[in-house]
């Protein structure tokens, strides 16, 4: 049976927990989305810039604001 909801695109996920990465992958892949993962905020920014420069932008970005490195910068 074909899924009535489908799409395509790239999603950038910033999260350090493997279980979150796997869950999002299992949820979104069947709908036609590819998920790119990163745990490092600097690598995340570089991936985003590179995708933008190459006209391969991400369609959506999930950010885990509970990452300890983000908290230090936001306070």
Q: What is the pLDDT of residues 35-65, one digit of tens each?
A: 999 888 788 889 999 999 999 889 988 887 7
pTM above 0.85, yes or no: no
Residues 6+ apart with CB under 8 A from 74: 65
Which of 44, 50, 42 lies closest to 62 in space, CA to CA? Answer: 44
Q: What is the pLDDT of residues 7-19, one digit of tens each?
A: 788 999 988 888 9
> What pLDDT does residue 75 have?
44
Task: Examine the pLDDT at 2 and tell me if it is beyond 70.
Answer: no
The fold of 9-74 is Rossmann fold (3.40.50)
Instruction: Write down the domain spans for the chain.
Output: 9-74
> What pLDDT does residue 52 have?
92
């Amino acid at each position: 049976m074909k899924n009535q909801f489908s799409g395509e695109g790239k999603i950038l996920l910033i999260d350090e927990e493997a279980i979150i990465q796997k869950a999002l992958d299992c949820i979104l892949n069947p709908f036609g989305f590819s998920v790119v993962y990163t745990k490092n905020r600097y690598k995340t920014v570089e991936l985003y810039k590179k995708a933008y420069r190459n006209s391969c932008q991400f369609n959506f970005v999930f950010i885990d604001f509970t990452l300890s490195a983000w908290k230090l910068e936001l306070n």
